[in-house]
């Protein structure tokens, strides 16, 4: 089968289309004939040599796919209400940049009504991540305020829509007035241009001095100290990436006085059962919102799989709003 390989660690042009054996589904798994593969920031980190696949996972990049179930564990398919020929999207630990991909049945979801495979392929990584971190770890509730760092990223556009749909007030940061406008169009209540405005002061102003209840942070580094400053009492800071560095210094006194929680997670190495629980929550709470059009995928651009290097270069340029997707044709 055709697959996009990382031929060496380095710039985007190390991605090349190669040939790999077609994988076989094992116990609890199914085989998907892939029509579209979502691109995510961890794919770029893996290509750079900064994010190794978990033990036992393929070296091929790609964490989310959509396509048709070709075969699989019959008992597991039955339990999941799936069958051969169904259109599904799936979260995987690797191997998504290929014509066929094996996925745990528990991590597969039916393509929501009305969506194309391209749109469906853009869902799993960001929706699993946002649900797990904003709603499970961050415990965001209706009536609370969420601050999203990087509102036009794949994670950002998902967090905006889900948080608003669940009744929260959404504040985002973005790096230009145009990106701020895009976030507002997606449903954010407030957008802060972090290059011209201080997000701490703006968050305090918007909340009349109270602060925000939850921060979703993909930066870390020196952002953590500033995020601690803008959290409300009993606020929660959830770190899901460290693009600004792994070391942070912050005012621990504020953590004590305001009873703050600083937490974080990475989804890729978590066990199938953990991800399966997220899938079931998404199917119950979020898939109906997508089918109703309340929440929608945001696709910035698609590339043929052979042009994966161009797709990665676009992601690294940070010019996009929403998701970048690879397509596979017969």
Query: Mind listing the pLDDT tens digit for each residue in 262-320?
Result: 999 999 889 999 999 999 999 999 999 999 999 999 999 999 999 999 999 999 998 89
Looking from the CA of 306 toward its CB, the CA atoms found within 13 Å total 2
Beta carbons of 102 and 257 less than 8 angstroms apart: no
User: Which two structure tokens, joined as six digits, stand for 180?
Assistant: 């701020």
Residue 245: domain span: 127-264
Find the CATH number of the domain harbouring 101.
3.90.180.10
Same domain, 131 and 12: no
Residue ending a domain, among 264, 287, 316, is 264
Is residue 119 assigned to a domain? yes
For residue 302, count CB atoms less than 10 angstroms from its CB and return exposed for 0-12, middle for 13-18, buried for 19 or more: middle
Q: How many domains does the chain have?
A: 2
Residue ending a domain, among 264, 287, 310, is 264
Same domain, 112 and 234: no
**Radius of gyration over every alpha carbon of the chain, rounded to an integer in angstroms:** 19
Average pLDDT rounded to a whole number, residues 218-241: 96
For residue 300, count CB atoms less than 10 angstroms from its CB and return exposed for 0-12, middle for 13-18, buried for 19 or more: middle
Is residue 277 assigned to a domain? no
Taking the C-alpha atoms of residue 213 and residue 236, their distance in angstroms, rounded to an integer, is 6
- pLDDT tens digits, 230-244: 999 999 999 999 999
Taking the C-alpha atoms of residue 159 and residue 137, their distance in angstroms, rounded to an integer, is 14
Beta carbons of 228 and 254 less than 8 angstroms apart: yes
Which residue in 58, 153, 70 sits closest to 97, CA to CA? 58
User: Which two structure tokens, joined as six digits, stand for 215?
Assistant: 């921060």
Is residue 288 assigned to a domain? no
Grouping H, G, I as helix, E, B as strand and the rest as coil, residue 127 is helix
- pLDDT tens digits, 145-198: 999 999 999 999 999 999 999 999 999 999 999 999 999 999 999 999 999 999
Strands 190-193 and 231-239, sheet pairing: unpaired
Same domain, 85 and 163: no
Is residue 221 assigned to a domain? yes
The structure tokens 């948080």 sit at 163
Longest dimension (CA), the chain: 60
Is residue 300 assigned to a domain? yes
Is residue 275 assigned to a domain? no
Find the CATH number of the domain harbouring 254.
3.40.50.720
Is residue 177 assigned to a domain? yes
Same domain, 131 and 68: no
Which residue in 129, 127, 74 sits closest to 105, CA to CA? 74
Same domain, 260 and 135: yes
Is residue 282 assigned to a domain? no
Same domain, 147 and 242: yes
The structure tokens 């406008």 sit at 181
- pLDDT tens digits, 19-64: 999 999 999 999 999 999 999 999 999 999 999 999 989 999 999 9
Grouping H, G, I as helix, E, B as strand and the rest as coil, residue 299 is strand
């Amino acid at each position: 089968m055709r697959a996009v390989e990382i031929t060496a660690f380095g710039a985007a042009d190390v991605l090349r289309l190669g040939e790999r054996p077609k994988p076989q589904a094992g116990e609890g798994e199914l085989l998907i004939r892939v029509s579209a593969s979502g691109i995510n920031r961890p794919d770029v980190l893996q290509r750079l040599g900064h994010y190794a696949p978990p033990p036992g996972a393929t070296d091929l990049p790609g964490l989310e796919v959509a396509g048709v179930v070709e075969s699989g564990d019959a008992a597991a398919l039955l339990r999941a209400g799936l069958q051969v020929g169904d259109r599904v999207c799936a979260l995987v630990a690797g191997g998504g940049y290929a014509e066929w991909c094996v996925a745990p049945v528990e991590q597969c979801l039916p393509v929501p009504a009305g969506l194309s495979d391209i749109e469906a392929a853009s869902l799993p990584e960001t929706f699993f991540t946002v649900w797990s971190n904003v709603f499970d770890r961050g415990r965001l509730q209706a009536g609370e305020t969420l601050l999203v760092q990087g509102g036009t990223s794949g994670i950002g556009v998902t967090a905006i829509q889900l948080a608003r749909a669940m009744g929260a007030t959404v504040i985002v940061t973005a790096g230009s007035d145009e990106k701020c406008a895009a976030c507002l169009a997606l449903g954010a209540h407030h957008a802060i241009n972090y290059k011209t405005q201080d997000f701490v002061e703006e968050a305090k102003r918007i909340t009349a001095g109270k602060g925000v209840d939850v921060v979703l942070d993909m930066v870390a580094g020196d952002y953590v100290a500033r995020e601690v400053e803008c959290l409300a009492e009993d606020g929660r800071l959830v770190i899901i990436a460290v693009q600004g560095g792994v070391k942070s210094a912050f005012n621990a006194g504020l953590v004590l006085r305001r009873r703050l929680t600083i937490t974080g997670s990475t989804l890729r190495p978590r066990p199938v059962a953990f991800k399966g629980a997220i899938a079931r929550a998404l199917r119950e709470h979020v898939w109906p919102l997508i089918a109703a059009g309340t929440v929608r995928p945001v696709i910035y651009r698609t590339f043929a799989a052979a042009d994966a290097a161009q797709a990665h270069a676009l992601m690294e340029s940070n010019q996009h709003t929403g998701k970048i997707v690879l397509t596979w044709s017969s």
